[in-house]
């Protein structure tokens, strides 16, 4: 026969039954059950009024809590948490409520509200300490990348294109693209350039359409040369090192957590509607931890450099040696042939002596070095 589980309630019931027997010594029973006489008489009194139900533990919660947050305020916190799919923590929620003219709540108060509503996420790992690096002003650097594509019910795929300002974390572009071709990206960027102006520099990885793919010796594509013609300095992250674009990668994580995992998208238009809603919330409303809980829009301003509807001419300063790149990507210099990217064919380049060694020459396209050649080793190019 299995043993009966002994609980505090069953012990209290045993005590009450024994104490109710004729001739029982109640104080001696209290001593044997390890309770005070005051406690023993309390259980006897409750049992006499309520029966066995009076032996259950009662809540220690006070009947009145004058300092507790009002129910309507708790409801605002809960609704806001659900609007963002549970992705914002107490600090962000408290800041948004205060900024909207609502009550000023301590993060611990918001945490208590979420805990009582069963809305706390206990699976998130604690943040790791790290050092942040960011540009000193908006538009000094934009980070650009594609978020991993995903299928749609229509049979097509969505390729989210993201562009993030390094200083402010402002989402300059969040576009649902049908592919990752250079012309597609160029069309999207022209719209962004017309609205926000031109950045000083853009950082990308090494994949298409802006990277060199399998040919690191000739990294610049027609798309990259178009950016250079606009006066933008183009840079690429280290291969297999996504940390170089850490801010944009972190933006992708937020996009996935707050949008992508909550929808089964049907069309690109459906994707863009949800992207636009998220982008507005991210830029205008969502407090950012890296900005001391400020919003990206509060740290961003458009670039003073407007987008030129026509590409400026290619001019080089006096003193540089100018050559024209031939059809196969070759150019002649001092009686030797050197090869650069085929994307430069038909365009003028300039050569400048390098400070590293007398035999080295930097190959320039507009303002940007695109290669380094060694006159002693014409078959080698960096």
Residue 238 maps to which CATH number? Answer: 3.30.420.10
Same domain membership, residue 147 and residue 210: yes
Same domain membership, residue 246 and residue 154: yes
Same domain membership, residue 96 and residue 197: no
Count of other CB atoms within 10 angstroms of residue 281: 17
pLDDT of residue 214: 44
- 296 Cα distance to chain centroid: 12
Question: Is-contact 353 360, C-beta < 8 A?
Answer: yes
The more confident residue out of 225 and 357 is: 225
Indicate whether 304 belongs to any domain: no
Task: Tell whether the model's pLDDT for residue 121 goes beyond 70.
Answer: no
Tokens of 147: 């978020």
Same domain membership, residue 248 and residue 152: yes
Indicate whether 132 belongs to any domain: no
Question: Is-contact 354 377, C-beta < 8 A?
Answer: no
Confidence band, pLDDT 50/70/90 cuts, at residue 194: very high
Tokens of 309: 């509807």
Same domain membership, residue 16 and residue 86: no
Give the domain extent around 343: 321-381
pLDDT of residue 43: 82
Indicate whether 131 belongs to any domain: no
pLDDT of residue 34: 85
pLDDT tens digit sequence for 125-160: 555 554 557 788 999 999 999 998 999 998 899 999
Task: Tell whether the model's pLDDT for residue 238 goes beyond 80.
Answer: no
Tokens of 345: 């064919």
Same domain membership, residue 188 and residue 255: yes
Indicate whether 133 belongs to any domain: no
Indicate whether 31 belongs to any domain: yes
Indicate whether 272 belongs to any domain: yes
Same domain membership, residue 188 and residue 88: no
Same domain membership, residue 155 and residue 109: no
Instruction: Specify burial of residue 206 (Cβ count, 10 A radius: 0-12, 13-18, 19+).
Output: middle
Same domain membership, residue 342 and residue 294: no
Task: Tell whether the model's pLDDT for residue 1 goes beyond 50.
Answer: no
pLDDT tens digit sequence for 281-325: 999 988 888 888 899 999 999 999 999 999 989 999 998 999 999
pLDDT of residue 3: 43
Point out the domain boundary residue: 264, 299, 334.
299
When mean pLDDT is compared over 32-41, 117-126, 151-160, 349-358, the highest value belongs to: 151-160
Considering its fold, how many domains does the chain have in total? 4
Indicate whether 313 belongs to any domain: no
The more confident residue out of 198 and 110 is: 198
Q: pTM for this one?
A: 0.71
Confidence band, pLDDT 50/70/90 cuts, at residue 365: very high
Indicate whether 134 belongs to any domain: no
């Amino acid at each position: 026969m299995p043993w009966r589980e002994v609980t505090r309630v069953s012990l209290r019931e045993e005590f009450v039954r024994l104490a109710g027997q004729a001739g029982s010594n109640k104080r001696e029973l209290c001593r044997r059950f390890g309770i005070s006489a005051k406690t023993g008489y309390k259980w006897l009194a409750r049992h006499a009024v309520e029966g066995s139900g009076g032996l259950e533990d009662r809540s220690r919660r006070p009947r009145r809590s004058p300092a507790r947050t009002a129910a309507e305020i708790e409801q605002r916190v809960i609704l806001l948490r659900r609007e963002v799919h549970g992705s914002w923590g107490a600090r962000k929620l408290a800041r948004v409520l205060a900024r909207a003219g609502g009550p000023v709540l301590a993060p611990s108060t918001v945490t208590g509200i979420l805990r009582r509503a069963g809305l706390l996420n206990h699976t998130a790992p604690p943040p790791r300490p790290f050092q942040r690096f960011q540009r000193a002003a908006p538009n000094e650097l934009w980070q650009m990348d594609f978020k991993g594509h995903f299928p749609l019910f229509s049979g097509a795929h969505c390729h989210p294109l993201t562009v993030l300002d390094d200083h402010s974390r402002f989402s300059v572009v969040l576009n649902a693209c049908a592919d990752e071709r250079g012309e597609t990206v160029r069309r999207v960027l022209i719209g962004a350039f017309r609205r926000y102006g031109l950045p000083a520099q853009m950082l990308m990885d090494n994949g298409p359409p802006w990277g060199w793919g399998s040919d690191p010796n000739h990294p610049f594509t027609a798309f990259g040369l178009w950016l250079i013609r606009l006066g933008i300095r183009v840079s690429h992250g280290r291969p297999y090192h996504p940390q170089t674009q850490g801010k944009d990668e972190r933006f992708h994580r937020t996009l996935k957590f707050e949008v992508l995992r909550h929808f089964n998208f049907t069309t690109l238009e459906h994707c863009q509607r949800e992207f636009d809603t998220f982008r507005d919330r991210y830029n205008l409303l969502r407090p950012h931890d890296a900005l001391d809980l400020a919003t990206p829009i509060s740290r961003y301003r458009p670039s003073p450099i407007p987008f030129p509807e026509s590409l400026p001419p290619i001019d080089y300063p006096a003193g540089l040696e100018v050559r024209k790149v031939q059809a196969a990507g070759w150019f002649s210099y001092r009686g030797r042939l050197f090869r650069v990217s085929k994307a430069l064919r038909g365009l003028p380049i300039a050569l400048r002596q390098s400070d590293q060694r007398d035999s080295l020459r930097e190959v320039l396209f507009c303002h940007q070095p695109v290669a380094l050649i060694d006159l002693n080793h014409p078959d080698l190019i960096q």
